[in-house]
Amino acid sequence: MLKFKVLLLICVVFSTGLQLANSQVPKKLTSGEIYQQMEKLGFLGSVLYVAAHPDDENTRLISYLANDKKAHTTYLSLTRGDGGQNLIGPEISEWLGVMRTQELLMARSVDNGHQMFTRANDFGYSKNAEETIKIWDTEKVKADVVRAIRTTRPDVIINRFDHRTSGETHGHHTASGQLSYELFEKAADPTVYPNQLPRLSTWQPRRLFFNTSWWFYGSEEKFKKADKSALMSMDVGVFFPLLGKSNTEIAAESRSKHKCQGFGATGTRGLQMEYLELLKGDLPPGKSDIFEGINTTWSRVPNGASIQALVDDLLKNYKFTDPSTSIPALIDLYKKVQKTGDPFWKEIKSKEIVSLIAACSGLFLEARTNIHKLTPGETFPLEIELINRAEVQMELTNIKAEGIQLDTIWTATLTPNEDIKWNTQRTVNLNIPNTAPYWLTQKGSLGTYYVEDQNMIGKPESDRNLKVFFTINILGNPFTFEKNVVYKYNSPENGETYRPLEIVPPLTVNVKEAVYVFAANKPKEVSVQVHAWAKDQQGSVVLPMPKGWTVTPDKFDFSFKEKGENKSFVFTVTPTSTPEEIDVTPIIHANDKTYTDAMINIQYDHIPYQTVLMKAEAKFSRLNIQTAAHRVAYVAGAGDEIPTSLRQIGCTVEIIKPEDISEEKLSTFQTLILGVRAYNTEENLKYKQAMIFDFVKKGGTVVVQYNVSNGLVTKELAPYPLTLSRNRVTVEEAEMRFLAPDHAVVNTPNKLTSKDFEGWVQERGLYFPSEWDKAFVPIFSCNDPGETPLDGSLLVAQYGEGYYIYTGLSFFRELPAGVSGAYRLFANLISLGHDSKP
Ligand SMILES: [Zn+2]
């Protein structure tokens, strides 16, 4: 369960081979989309959808509520999904959370929902809600759920997961349902989290539902037969002629933004039922409209009653061929809304109206630069562009900017369709904060992120620090439009390309590897890269070491003339003589300051470019380890870092493709390792099993890491019968009982004790075999708290002269994390049957 420490190979310099798609292009609404947004102005209902991870949310229902019911619809994902897998790149843990946050935001921009998070951390798989709650800092997560309710003031809350079925799905899932259920009344209680008041006010939602589906019934067949008379039901397969798509097609587009999980979805058309079970509040008599009986018109807010008629007129008079004719009515509506007495709806509807005024007039406002990373004090070129594309009178009266000292009273008439450009040089304020994900700037706990600024809690991402505010008089009424300064360039391949503008420190430092394993007293080279983001940077970089460790040289001096220059410096580190694990952070001294931030760039086509700043850190692990296997072959499966880890302890590892396996090839190695899920991903292995077994027979050692039981390429995984299961042990501290204490794998060349199972990360292992031939010797027994012991985590069988080993233990997680006991055990596995001479 324990979250990975920072494991990603940190890389600052990116080749520019990857082109960015326009995931940042400002939305420009068509006439039909404008009308759809206008319809929203007349609906004052809010709904909060609650689940645990990015991808849990039902995009069909979210899109239906936002686009058909016109409700203010928010998805509260308790976590950012750090613990998941990344199918499209190397990012894991925190960086995966950054990616998945952006994927959710892209999904919401498709389905018109809003996005919120809590501080809860996705620490990895957990079997039940009780375990989840124990690891999360529950008080903080509860406070954040209450905060989300008070922020979005939902009439209706919908849970994705059943709060009554702990143990039947991921513990995070059930916990999300339980927290929502428990806190339904609490947001209304002023004594609960009073520190959130008065910035927010108390709120009592009217109804709580569970969004059930066939999945919760075990099969579509069972769900079809189930009595659904007590459930709410609605057809979410509606067609939107203004958009040319059905709701379910939009939902598929939204879901397809979850690329790092491989959740691309194909749109469907026609009837699509959704079912809701009432958990709290009153059941709407018609059982089809979640807002039935709730006043969702303007008469629900003080001084609002007369507004509904204005919205009706606005829609009635809308001219699809010229939306700008609606501008006077929108301005009138805006003024009336300012006089209403409900700050929540006033803010939401005012924003919607202002963006509609801009859309109706084709108003284009942009502040851009041609540099993507700026440092405090840097002077840069800023280009401002404005154009009004409607026959409506507009005067620019003021341009003001945050972070670059710009406050210009500038009167200019925005003549219809006349483009205005203004080029200037501006200097970034010295005290401007860096742009980085706010939840990662300080170290949190296993269960929750640490967030210093309470006002940021719940927000999907950090605010940008360079913004321009345009004040424009439209038909004599002042409106202020806010725009982030963007980095924009023309890509020969993709054309107009946007990217967020970053504020970064003048110097960053990255350690090449996240983990260095010292298997002996031999020194190792540690490469540290210094990167200048401002010109004329001089200073030095050191690698401070604790007592017992030595590093040469003491420091490296550097001098960079140009912004963007970087250089790697290689320190030689000699470890202490006894086993020890240390965390090391390089320090830059320059400009009378110290800098310790590493920069990680995340670049994909489908999300905005992300720059993460975090303290640079590497783990140095001095092991007491020996191995008797020096010539090792490795066949990759779904991908793991085992070869890199084994090279760190002095093994020669050759990566071979399944198709290249031959008797001759194998005979040059002592040991063959199969990467995780190799028998799920490598079709060719089924033709090579006979050769692999023959290699064992003649004295070779084969180590097979976990495979999932579904979709194996061969039925004959091992030379003896072996049945895989979904058994796993997720508690990484679970006791490891030695079933075969005298077996060579726990004694030679490294004598293992229970100490070797301390400090494991995330889990013990997964997909353990449940049945095996008596030729196999089970080595350990372990289980999660309160569960039956599992003996299949490591099975060893002698076959002919050699050994066949099958293990579900999570070496693919432990070795890259530098876990010393896992290294010692793995060294024993690959050494089995070989003497210590190379
Ligand atoms: Zn989930």
Lowest mean pLDDT among 321-330, 376-385, 515-524, 556-565: 515-524
Q: Which of 423, 498, 509 is nearest to 464 (CA)?
A: 498
Compute, in angstroms, the gap from residue 724 CA to the centroid of ligand 1: 24
Compute, in angstroms, the gap from residue 55 CA to the centroid of ligand 1: 6
The structure tokens listed for 202 are: 């108390």
Contact status, residue 313 vs residue 103, Cβ threshold 8 Å: no
Residues near 160 by beta carbon (within 8 Å), at least 6 away in sequence = 49, 50, 51, 52, 56, 57, 58, 173, 176, 177, 211
Strands 631-635 and 610-615, how do they pair?
Answer: unpaired
Compute, in angstroms, the gap from residue 321 CA to the centroid of ligand 1: 44
Query: What average pLDDT does this structure show over 357-386?
Result: 96
Inform me whether the pLDDT recorded for 805 exceeds 70: yes
* pLDDT confidence of residue 754: 96
Lowest mean pLDDT among 50-54, 64-68, 359-363, 605-609: 605-609
* pLDDT confidence of residue 305: 94
Grade residue 371 by pLDDT with cuts at 50, 70 and 90.
very high
Compute, in angstroms, the gap from residue 170 CA to the centroid of ligand 1: 7
Compute, in angstroms, the gap from residue 475 CA to the centroid of ligand 1: 50
**Residues 712, 715, 717, 719: what is their CA dihedral angle, to the nearest 10 degrees?**
180
Inform me whether the pLDDT recorded for 90 exceeds 90: no
Query: What average pLDDT does this structure show over 779-783?
Result: 97
Compute, in angstroms, the gap from residue 519 CA to the centroid of ligand 1: 39
- The tens digit of pLDDT for each residue in 817-835 reads 899 999 999 999 999 999 7
Q: Which of 143, 141, 113, 117 is nearest to 129 (CA)?
A: 141
Please give the Cα distance from 260 to 88 (Å, whole number): 5
Grade residue 6 by pLDDT with cuts at 50, 70 and 90.
very low
Inform me whether the pLDDT recorded for 1 exceeds 60: no
Q: Phi first, then psi: what are they for 348, rounded to 5°? A: -65, -50
Strands 232-235 and 273-280, how do they pair?
Answer: antiparallel
- Any idea what the Cα angle at residue 568 is, between residues 567 and 569, rounded to 5°? 120
Q: Phi first, then psi: what are they for 409, rounded to 5°? A: -80, 110
DSSP codes of every residue in 48-91: EEEESSTTTS-HHHHHIIIIIS--EEEEEESS--TTS--SSSS-
Please give the Cα distance from 668 to 754 (Å, whole number): 35
* CA distance to 7, 61, 176, 205, 430, per residue, from 156 (Å): 41, 13, 16, 6, 46
Inform me whether the pLDDT recorded for 838 exceeds 90: no
Grade residue 260 by pLDDT with cuts at 50, 70 and 90.
confident
As residues whose CB is below 5 A from the ion ligand 1, the structure lists 53, 56
Compute, in angstroms, the gap from residue 493 CA to the centroid of ligand 1: 37
Compute, in angstroms, the gap from residue 245 CA to the centroid of ligand 1: 28
Contact status, residue 4 vs residue 759, Cβ threshold 8 Å: no
Inform me whether the pLDDT recorded for 324 exceeds 80: yes
- The tens digit of pLDDT for each residue in 115-156 reads 999 999 998 888 889 889 999 999 999 999 999 999 999 999
Compute, in angstroms, the gap from residue 177 CA to the centroid of ligand 1: 12
* CA distance to 131, 203, 331, per residue, from 180 (Å): 17, 14, 39
Q: Which of 422, 427, 423, 450 is nearest to 437 (CA)?
A: 450
Compute, in angstroms, the gap from residue 54 CA to the centroid of ligand 1: 7
Contact status, residue 124 vs residue 761, Cβ threshold 8 Å: no
* pLDDT confidence of residue 562: 96
* pLDDT confidence of residue 162: 95
Please give the Cα distance from 235 to 268 (Å, whole number): 13
Please give the Cα distance from 604 to 602 (Å, whole number): 7
Contact status, residue 166 vs residue 128, Cβ threshold 8 Å: yes
Q: Phi first, then psi: what are they for 504, rounded to 5°? A: -130, 160
Residue linked to tokens 């005979």? 667
Q: Return the H-helix or E-strand segment holding 528.
A: strand 524-532
Compute, in angstroms, the gap from residue 128 CA to the centroid of ligand 1: 13
- Under DSSP, the state recorded for 791 is -
Region at 436 (left for phi over 0; alpha for psi -120 to 50; beta for the rest) = beta
Compute, in angstroms, the gap from residue 52 CA to the centroid of ligand 1: 6
Q: Which of 665, 243, 608 is nearest to 437 (CA)?
A: 608
Residue linked to tokens 């790149």? 89
pLDDT more than 70, % of the chain:
97
Contact status, residue 542 vs residue 587, Cβ threshold 8 Å: yes
Residue at 638: amino acid letter: A
Compute, in angstroms, the gap from residue 483 CA to the centroid of ligand 1: 34
Grade residue 4 by pLDDT with cuts at 50, 70 and 90.
very low
Widest CA span in the chain: 92
Grade residue 3 by pLDDT with cuts at 50, 70 and 90.
very low
Compute, in angstroms, the gap from residue 444 CA to the centroid of ligand 1: 22
- The tens digit of pLDDT for each residue in 480-500 reads 999 999 999 998 988 999 999
Q: Return the H-helix or E-strand segment holding 778.
A: strand 776-778
* pLDDT confidence of residue 310: 97
Compute, in angstroms, the gap from residue 809 CA to the centroid of ligand 1: 23
Compute, in angstroms, the gap from residue 118 CA to the centroid of ligand 1: 15
Query: What average pLDDT does this structure show over 656-675?
Result: 95
Inform me whether the pLDDT recorded for 17 exceeds 50: no
Please give the Cα distance from 83 to 96 (Å, whole number): 8
The pTM assigned to this predicted structure is: 0.89
- Any idea what the Cα angle at residue 464 is, between residues 458 and 467, rounded to 5°? 130
Grade residue 10 by pLDDT with cuts at 50, 70 and 90.
very low
Contact status, residue 417 vs residue 361, Cβ threshold 8 Å: no
Compute, in angstroms, the gap from residue 707 CA to the centroid of ligand 1: 22
DSSP codes of every residue in 178-212: HHHHHHTTGGG-TTSSGGGTTTS-----SEEEEEE
- The tens digit of pLDDT for each residue in 171-197 reads 999 999 999 999 999 999 999 999 999
Helix 307-316 vs helix 31-40: angle between axes, to the nearest 10 degrees?
Answer: 160
Q: Return the H-helix or E-strand segment holding 146.
A: helix 138-152
Compute, in angstroms, the gap from residue 377 CA to the centroid of ligand 1: 44
Inform me whether the pLDDT recorded for 618 exceeds 80: yes
Other Cβ atoms less than 10 A from the Cβ of 27: the count is 8
Compute, in angstroms, the gap from residue 166 CA to the centroid of ligand 1: 14
Please give the Cα distance from 684 to 462 (Å, whole number): 47
Query: What average pLDDT does this structure show over 258-273?
Result: 89
Q: Which of 486, 491, 499, 500 is nearest to 368 (CA)?
A: 486
Compute, in angstroms, the gap from residue 528 CA to the centroid of ligand 1: 37
Lowest mean pLDDT among 285-299, 638-652, 729-743: 638-652
Cis peptide before 198 (omega within 30 of 0): yes
Please give the Cα distance from 635 to 760 (Å, whole number): 25
Please give the Cα distance from 724 to 524 (Å, whole number): 40
Compute, in angstroms, the gap from residue 94 CA to the centroid of ligand 1: 17
Grade residue 548 by pLDDT with cuts at 50, 70 and 90.
very high
* pLDDT confidence of residue 588: 98
Compute, in angstroms, the gap from residue 81 CA to the centroid of ligand 1: 8
Compute, in angstroms, the gap from residue 25 CA to the centroid of ligand 1: 30
Q: Is the dihedral of CA 198, 200, 203, 208 positive or negative?
A: negative
Lowest mean pLDDT among 10-24, 93-107, 518-532: 10-24
Compute, in angstroms, the gap from residue 205 CA to the centroid of ligand 1: 25
Inform me whether the pLDDT recorded for 25 exceeds 90: no
Compute, in angstroms, the gap from residue 56 CA to the centroid of ligand 1: 5
* pLDDT confidence of residue 304: 95
Q: What is the mean pLDDT of the chain?
A: 93
Compute, in angstroms, the gap from residue 70 CA to the centroid of ligand 1: 26
Compute, in angstroms, the gap from residue 176 CA to the centroid of ligand 1: 10
Q: Which of 50, 63, 283, 337 is nearest to 187 (CA)?
A: 50
Lowest mean pLDDT among 149-163, 640-654, 744-758: 640-654
Compute, in angstroms, the gap from residue 621 CA to the centroid of ligand 1: 34
Grade residue 836 by pLDDT with cuts at 50, 70 and 90.
low
Compute, in angstroms, the gap from residue 143 CA to the centroid of ligand 1: 21
Q: Which of 622, 599, 597, 650 is nearest to 545 (CA)?
A: 622
Q: Which of 822, 826, 764 is nearest to 581 (CA)?
A: 822
* pLDDT confidence of residue 24: 66
Compute, in angstroms, the gap from residue 78 CA to the centroid of ligand 1: 10
Please give the Cα distance from 377 to 374 (Å, whole number): 9
Compute, in angstroms, the gap from residue 230 CA to the centroid of ligand 1: 27
- Under DSSP, the state recorded for 404 is T
